[in-house]
Amino acid sequence: MPVPRPAPPPGVLERLTYIQAPVRAVWATLHDPAAQDALFPELRLGPAAPSWPAAGATRSARLRIGLLVANVRLESLEARPSARFQMILVGDGIRLVRGWFLEEVAGGTRVAATAGLTTGRWPGRFIALGRGSATGIVETHLRILKEMAEGSRPAGEAPESKHVSTLGRP
Using H for helix, E for strand and C for coil, what is the string for 60-78?
Answer: EEEEEECCEEEEEEEEEEE
What are the domain boundaries of the chain?
Answer: 13-152
Give the predicted TM-score (pTM) of the model. 0.79
pLDDT tens profile 110-160: 999 999 888 888 887 778 777 778 888 899 999 999 999 998 655 434 444
pLDDT tens profile 64-121: 988 889 999 999 999 998 899 999 999 998 999 999 999 999 889 999 999 988 888 8
From the candidate CATH numbers 3.40.50.460, 2.70.98.70, 3.30.530.20, 3.40.50.720, the one assigned to the domain spanning 13-152: 3.30.530.20
pLDDT tens profile 8-36: 777 788 999 999 999 999 999 999 999 99
User: Which H helix or E strand runs over 59?
Assistant: strand 58-65
| Coil, helix or strand at residue 132 | coil
